[in-house]
């Protein structure tokens, strides 16, 4: 599968799944803008890719930052954006009644408002591409519920409606809109969450694995594979869809 000549923008790509997706698109021939709130992390990923990538710092909760990100991407590509991945997100774990209001607000600002602002900026460019694809990173928390994850659940459920609405609005303009909903993924993000909630990270990982029908965590490479598929012509009839990437965890109880 070749993405030679394509321009791809990925937010939250300084680490984890976003970083892996950036490397994978570049390996397939695309030029990639690696965006993250952490400018140093973004630069590290871009440098590991080489001349086919550049780094741009972006706080997706800022509409001005999102606009500037797309403008810089268009200058780097010399063309409109072909694939925009709204991947940036924050976790929330803890007792809902004890949660700090500012913490809750920031999760909503990044996961909901940030997805909206970055998608709006991205779509202004995508509508001028002949192969446009907008991909959100959701979560199995966007299709199920889980205690101690209330606001994160709410923020990811919001993306499901956004994907469907934007698919209807922008399909006639040639843009496909989809989401990837990963389950427990072997990343720093997951381990940080488990450390807050469970304490013993290794024991918590083992319990997670035992509850997954395929008996393993999702890997960042699995996410990158899904992103490449949804962006590619192989998925030319797929829009308004949330792709579950969960090793069977939402199929039911084992």
Residue-wise pLDDT for 205-228, tens only, equals 888 888 899 999 999 999 999 999
Q: Is residue 224 part of a domain?
A: yes
Q: What is the domain-level CATH number for residue 61?
A: 3.40.50.720
Catalytic residue (choose from 138, 139, 141, 150): 139
- pLDDT score at 254: 63
Q: Is residue 32 part of a domain?
A: yes
Whole-number Å distance between alpha carbons of 69 and 42: 13
Annotated catalytic residue 48: no
Catalytic residue (choose from 118, 152, 155, 249): 152
Q: Is residue 202 part of a domain?
A: yes
**CA neighbor of 122 nearest in space, from 81, 92, 93:** 81
Annotated catalytic residue 156: yes
Instruction: Report the percent of the chain where pLDDT is more than 90.
Output: 77
**Full domain range(s) for residue 171:** 7-245
Annotated catalytic residue 164: no
Q: Is residue 252 part of a domain?
A: no
Residue at token pair 């909901």: 112
What digits encode the pLDDT tens for the residues 38-84?
A: 999 999 999 999 999 999 999 999 999 999 999 999 999 999 999 99
Q: How many domains does the chain have?
A: 1
Whats the size of the chain, residue-wise? 254
Helices (H), the chain: 16-27, 39-49, 63-77, 101-108, 114-126, 150-170, 188-197, 201-210, 220-231
* Token pair belonging to 18: 């976003």
What digits encode the pLDDT tens for the residues 74-126?
A: 999 999 999 999 999 988 878 889 889 999 999 999 999 999 999 999 999 99
């Amino acid at each position: 599968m070749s993405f030679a000549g394509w321009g791809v923008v990925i937010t939250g790509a300084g680490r984890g799944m976003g970083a892996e997706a950036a490397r994978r698109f570049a390996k397939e021939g695309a030029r990639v803008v690696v965006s993250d709130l952490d400018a140093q992390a973004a630069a590290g990923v871009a440098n590991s890719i080489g001349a086919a990538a550049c780094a741009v710092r972006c706080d997706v909760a800022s509409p001005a930052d999102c606009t500037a990100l797309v403008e810089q991407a268009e200058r780097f590509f010399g063309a409109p954006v072909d694939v925009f991945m709204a991947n940036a997100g924050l976790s929330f774990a803890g007792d809902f009644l004890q949660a700090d209001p500012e913490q809750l607000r920031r999760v909503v600002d990044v996961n909901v408002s940030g997805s909206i602002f970055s998608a709006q900026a991205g779509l202004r460019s995508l509508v001028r591409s002949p192969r446009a694809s907008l991909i959100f990173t959701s979560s199995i928390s966007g299709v199920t519920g889980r205690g101690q994850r209330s606001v994160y659940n709410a923020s990811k459920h919001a993306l499901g409606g956004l994907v469907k609405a934007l698919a209807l609005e922008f399909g006639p303009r040639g843009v496909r809109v989809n989401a990837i909903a990963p389950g427990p993924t072997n990343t720093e993000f997951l381990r940080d969450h488990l450390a807050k909630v469970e304490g013993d990270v290794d024991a918590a990982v083992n319990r997670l694995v035992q509850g997954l029908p395929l008996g393993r965590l999702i890997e960042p490479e699995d996410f990158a594979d899904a992103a490449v598929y949804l962006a590619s012509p192989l998925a030319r009839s797929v829009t308004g869809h949330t792709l579950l990437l969960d090793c069977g965890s939402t199929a039911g109880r084992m």
